Amino acid sequence: MRRFNMVGTHLTQRTLIVLLPLKILNLLAPDIDMSELETLFSTAVATNASVKGGTKRGSAISKPEIVHLVDMRRANNCEIMLTKIKMPLPDMISAILALDTSVLDNDQVENLIKFCPTNEEIEMLKNYNGNKEMLGKCEQFFLELMKVPRVESKLRVFAFRIAFSTQADELRTNLTTINDATKEVKESLKLRQIMQTILTLGNALNQGTARGSAVGFRLDSLLKLSDTRARNNKMTLMHYLCKLLAEKLPELLDFDKDLIHLEAASKIQLKLLAEEMQAINKGLEKVEQELAASVNDGAISVGFRKALTSFLDSAEAVVRSLISLYSEVGRNADSLAQYFGEDPARCPFEQVTSILVIFVNMFKKSRDENARTVEAEKKKMEKEKASMSTIKGSE
């Protein structure tokens, strides 16, 4: 029978048992049905109860511990990453092999790439002979990835697939902007007339000197127009140019409206476009390589090959058109410098557009300042005229 450990006389202040005198205890003690007591509290009954209720506290049976093989910090970061994806591992693998962009986005795929098992981790998991169900979540994830041949390569192809449309569209937009800006500058008759007027002004100022009969000028000379000031120091040569045009050729004052794409083009670096073009080409090469390698993967890559082939067919057409556009842009960018008599090697596209943007902004500023000055003088004259009329009237 299960023993009941009655409290003895060694009691503390925290004991919640009230001790009664023995005489009173004898008087109050009832008759006990030993048969009922043994049925309710026998050792056999207690044992069955413990089985039904689970392992009791203090039991010698211990819960099996999770086995961690991967570095704890890496494993913890991996588990955090997996909680953000929130899907069973088999479903994740299916989405990867289907290149399903509706299930996994670019950030998630990039994170999966970061947590692909290293060669060392792969060997460690292959050599593990214990119960694999007891491995940690990170290890379970690695085991799932290891079922896919060249899983990291496939994930990189997937990442390229996701980013391709945006990357290609941005590159095309920048290339088109350069083409448009180049065309606008070269076809602007207003800009050409202004350049001719500047040359005429320069020759007039340099009359009698060796520079007085120039047939042209360096492009960066445009930036000096605002530095050359009149004797009274009240206006610059740029102000005078705008004043002259306002009086003689006012239709040229809004020439900046011809150059809609110039400012946007001035912010584009051809070197970066070359790098983007190269990245797209290399990405497409990786796609082709993985597609060829997956032929020997077996059934697991059948869906992957189908999805990748479909993407490759459309991507190749896009890249061919981008290569053609890129070549055209290279020629047009060089021709812009040559249009102004500059050597593209010494005065590249970026420098040409930067100078032109600064010139346009300085021109617009001087044009507007001249307009305000004219308006102020007009109001002053009207005020003086009104004042004179008042004086005459009073006489």
pLDDT at 212: 66
Mean pLDDT by 10 residues, the chain (395 residues): 47 43 47 61 44 40 77 93 90 94 94 95 92 91 94 96 96 98 97 94 82 82 90 88 95 96 97 96 96 93 95 96 96 96 95 97 95 86 71 61
Classify residue 393 as exposed, middle or buried by CB count within 10 Å of its CB (0-12, 13-18, 19+).
Answer: exposed
What domains can be seen in the chain, in order of their start residue? 72-147 (1.20.58), 186-356 (1.20.58.2220)
pLDDT at 7: 46
pLDDT at 378: 82
Helices (H), the chain: 22-28, 34-41, 43-53, 72-85, 89-97, 106-114, 119-126, 137-145, 151-187, 189-205, 237-248, 262-266, 270-293, 302-339, 349-394
Residue 229, helix vs strand vs coil: strand
Q: What is the DSSP letter of 117?
A: P
